[in-house]
Structure 1
Amino acid sequence: MAAPTGHTTRVTETPLRHPRIPRPRVAVLGAGMIAGVHVRSARAAGADVMGIVASSPERSRAVAHDWQIDVGYPDVDAVLSDDRVDVVHICTPNHLHVAQARDALLAGKHVVCEKPIATSASDARLLADTAMASGRIATVPFVYRYHPVVRELRARVLAGDFGPWQLLHGSYLQDWLLSPASTSWRVDAVAGGPSRAFADIGSHWFDLVEWVAGVRIAEVLAETATTVAERPDAGGPSFSGRSLASSVRVPVTTEDAVGVLGRTTDGVLVSATVSQVSAGRKNRLWFELDGADASAVFDQELPESLWLGYGNRTETVVRDPASNSLEANRLSLVPAGHAQGYLECFENFVKDTYAALRGEAPEGLPTVLDGVRSAHLVDAVLASADRRAWTTVPG
């Protein structure tokens, strides 16, 4: 089988027309759960977190105090005008990403932008063009690439261990919006964008499978479902299970679940189920890659091992720096048997982003171009569901 092309464009393809930064100085836009992860990861990666922006000047000061950050900026403009800030981490609601990221790039800052980087493919392309023209680094946290056993699996794919692909399939299931009384800003099509479940978590599944298997999805046939017709008319933090039963209820126009069939450019069948209403499933990103010679399974909730299947036996491969591939070893922060998980993935992603600022080209670093790819997939899934027909994925 052909070796994976990998759809990440290396950061060195963007001309580095800026000084190399040995110790980044960082500001974070947003103060929710994911912003806290960015702050922790930036510090772990050796950055100085200079300040944070929340929903109001008062909230910014309060969060800065709680998170032991020196500055609670009054607004985004104050960040962009601060010459001490090298990198802006954007962790705000989705509809703000494009404008904030473009403004940061044009102000000479590097950017780490949460996905989706835009709520349409055209806006995502605009952001990518801005990044390329600015010569600044712009990365996107498709952090599940950073599980060491994912790198181990990709190394085995590159070595040709699986033969031609026969079938690629799996699911990404959560339950945080199972209750009709639960809500979040993500439910709102204005703040979150026209796609919710697919853009939020399905995007991770497809990024990971395309990157690990070395394939491109050429066309999709999708069906969406909104299983909770109305929810409270009030935003809330993601993944909180926050119930607002007394609030005014409004119609829900974003999807709770998606089923996607696809075919790769080589004609391989792909299938994925995505849900935010599957009881008991907290963050189960699971995929199986079935090749002519072997199969492999990765489960994000059991991130320390891979299942491998052969015609006459099965095997479990564990994360072990003594025997894993070079890339898996690079990302192993603790010895075998000491569990690594999501937070270490994020830390390694941020470390690689900062390495790119020093002129390095880390393997597998997801850039704004991967965000554009994801936006094309989101648009194609929505178009297919609307037309109830196979739809081509651009690029």
Structure 2
Amino acid sequence: MPQQIQAAVVGTGFMGSVHTRAVTAAGGRVRLLVGSTPDRARALARSVPGAEPAGFEEVLASDVDVVHICTPNHLHHDMARRVLEAGKHVVCEKPLAVSAEEAAGLAALAARTGLVATVPFVYRFYASVRLARSMIAAGGRAPWLLHGSYLQDWLAAPDTDNWRVDTARGGGSRAFGDIGIHWCDLMEFVTGQRVTALQASLGRAHAVRGGRPVTTEDGGVISFRTDAGALGSLVISQASAGRKNRLWFSFDGPDASYVFDQERPETLWVGGQDADRTLTRDPARAGTRPDGLPAGHPQGYHECFADFVADTYAAVRGQAPDGLPTFDAGLRAARLTEAVLTSAADNAAWTEIPV
């Protein structure tokens, strides 16, 4: 039996609690918890059997195998760098860094060290997403129209505020940098196509939050082209009333179209010229990621996160899981974000992106 992975989780907010749960579900053990204050670390540690509160320096000096970074965005780069330099594997929340230059440095450092370094693009782990990917890869004419949206409402109210609104902590992009990169990662993962150019218009629902002017976007509209000649469009929003976490895509081709809705993830709609069909998740179906969740038992966000962590830990043990999002995926997201901000600042001018 392989040795149990020992983990530290840095950050005690919502994402910190998601990571601690996923570590346990993936068969690992959370040994150390770091919070913004000792009290926050102790509070989360009480709900995680065997975990102890610690400081970040203690984590670096410890013998844990993997460090999960779940802090505000502006802390990601330096923490991930120090974890890798300490010889430990790392899982870093997205965005990997608040600039493409910093993200490139982290990706290069991970490559030099040979350590496992991953970013939680966990929507890749839905069975319906993997099925669409396998069906597109199986043959036929590639999708030529790639469109969709990612809509939320948690910042719809004008009096709602969050650290992500602050560019000093969240970075220059909020809606795209937080959720738009998830959609783009899925599009490139599922279709195998890469965005080569885009134009972006960004806007905000409220000019002021928490008594200060808002400089990051509440949403936007992005058009793009791919290396396979496809056209695409994406609508993103964190201020669309009633939309809780609706990540939706339609990848349309001459032979078949594929539609996925994250709020109804058990099904994949496949359209054909003569008939369409709705495929329900079944782990026995070819093209899906093997898992222990039987058909008819709905897969959800927590299961996808646990599968992502399980594959990360499999990589730590020397395996090579298919579709594991590494720091290269985090760098790709940073470059897309940089292009979005550049285009928006230049009146939605088309902006090229290295493939």
TM-score of the pair, normalised by structure 2: 0.97
State the secondary structure of the residue aligned to 1:49: strand
**What is the alpha-carbon distance in structure 2 between the residues aligned to residue 195 and residue 108 of structure 1?**
31
- Cα shift readout 1:229-279 (whole Å, capped 9, x = no counterpart): 1111xxxxxxxxxxxxxxxx0001100001000000122101000000111
* Number of equivalences: 353
- Cα shift readout 1:169-213 (whole Å, capped 9, x = no counterpart): 000000000000111111111111000000100000000011101
Letter matched to residue 280 of structure 1:
G
Letter matched to residue 40 of structure 1:
R
Offset of residue 130 of structure 1: 1.3
State the secondary structure of the residue aligned to 1:327: coil
**What is the alpha-carbon distance in structure 2 between the residues aligned to residue 350 and residue 137 of structure 1?**
12
Letter matched to residue 325 of structure 1:
A
State the secondary structure of the residue aligned to 1:116: coil
Whether the 8 Å CA contact 1:256–1:276 is kept in 2: the answer is yes
Which runs of structure 2 are paired with 1:165-176 in the superposition (5 Å)? 165-176=143-154
Which runs of structure 2 are paired with 1:98-137 in the superposition (5 Å)? 98-137=77-116
Structure 2 residue aligned with 1:277: 239
- Cα shift readout 1:260-312 (whole Å, capped 9, x = no counterpart): 00000122101000000111000000000001111110000000000111112
Whether the 8 Å CA contact 1:22–1:358 is kept in 2: the answer is no
Which runs of structure 2 are paired with 1:204-243 in the superposition (5 Å)? 204-232=182-210
**What is the alpha-carbon distance in structure 1 between the residues aligned to residue 206 and residue 137 of structure 2?**
43
**What is the alpha-carbon distance in structure 1 between the residues aligned to residue 183 and residue 287 of structure 2?**
24
Structure 2 residue aligned with 1:297: 259
Which runs of structure 2 are paired with 1:67-146 in the superposition (5 Å)? 67-73=48-54, 75-83=55-63, 85-146=64-125
Whether the 8 Å CA contact 2:135–2:287 is kept in 1: the answer is no
Offset of residue 320 of structure 1: 1.5
Question: Please, which runs of 5 or more residues in structure 2 have no aligned partner?
Answer: none
More deviation in 360-369 or 334-343?
A: 334-343
Letter matched to residue 106 of structure 1:
E
State the secondary structure of the residue aligned to 1:22: coil
Which runs of structure 2 are paired with 1:187-336 in the superposition (5 Å)? 187-232=165-210, 249-322=211-284, 324-328=285-289, 330-331=290-291, 333-336=292-295
Letter matched to residue 11 of structure 2:
G
TM-score of the pair, normalised by structure 1: 0.88
Offset of residue 146 of structure 1: 0.1
Which residue of the other structure, out of 54, 60, 85, is the alignment partner of 2:41? 60
- Cα shift readout 1:82-140 (whole Å, capped 9, x = no counterpart): 12x11000000000000000000000110000000000100000111111122211000
Question: Please, which runs of 5 or more residues in structure 1 have no aligned partner?
Answer: 1-20, 233-248
Letter matched to residue 270 of structure 1:
G
Does residue 368 in structure 1 map to residue 327 in structure 2?
yes
In structure 2, the CA distance between the partners of 1:275 and 1:69, relative to structure 1 (3 Å rule), is farther
**What is the alpha-carbon distance in structure 2 between the residues aligned to residue 276 and residue 226 of structure 1?**
9
**What is the alpha-carbon distance in structure 2 between the residues aligned to residue 67 and residue 252 of structure 1?**
37
Offset of residue 393 of structure 1: 1.2
More deviation in 130-139 or 202-211?
A: 130-139
Structure 1 residue aligned with 2:142: 164
Letter matched to residue 112 of structure 1:
V
Offset of residue 69 of structure 1: 4.2
State the secondary structure of the residue aligned to 1:373: helix
Structure 1 residue aligned with 2:354: 394
**What is the alpha-carbon distance in structure 2 between the residues aligned to residue 275 and residue 224 of structure 1?**
10
Offset of residue 219 of structure 1: 0.2
Offset of residue 23 of structure 1: 1.6
**What is the alpha-carbon distance in structure 1 between the residues aligned to residue 91 and residue 334 of structure 2?**
16
State the secondary structure of the residue aligned to 2:168: coil
- Cα shift readout 1:19-67 (whole Å, capped 9, x = no counterpart): xx73210000000111111101101111111010001123222221233
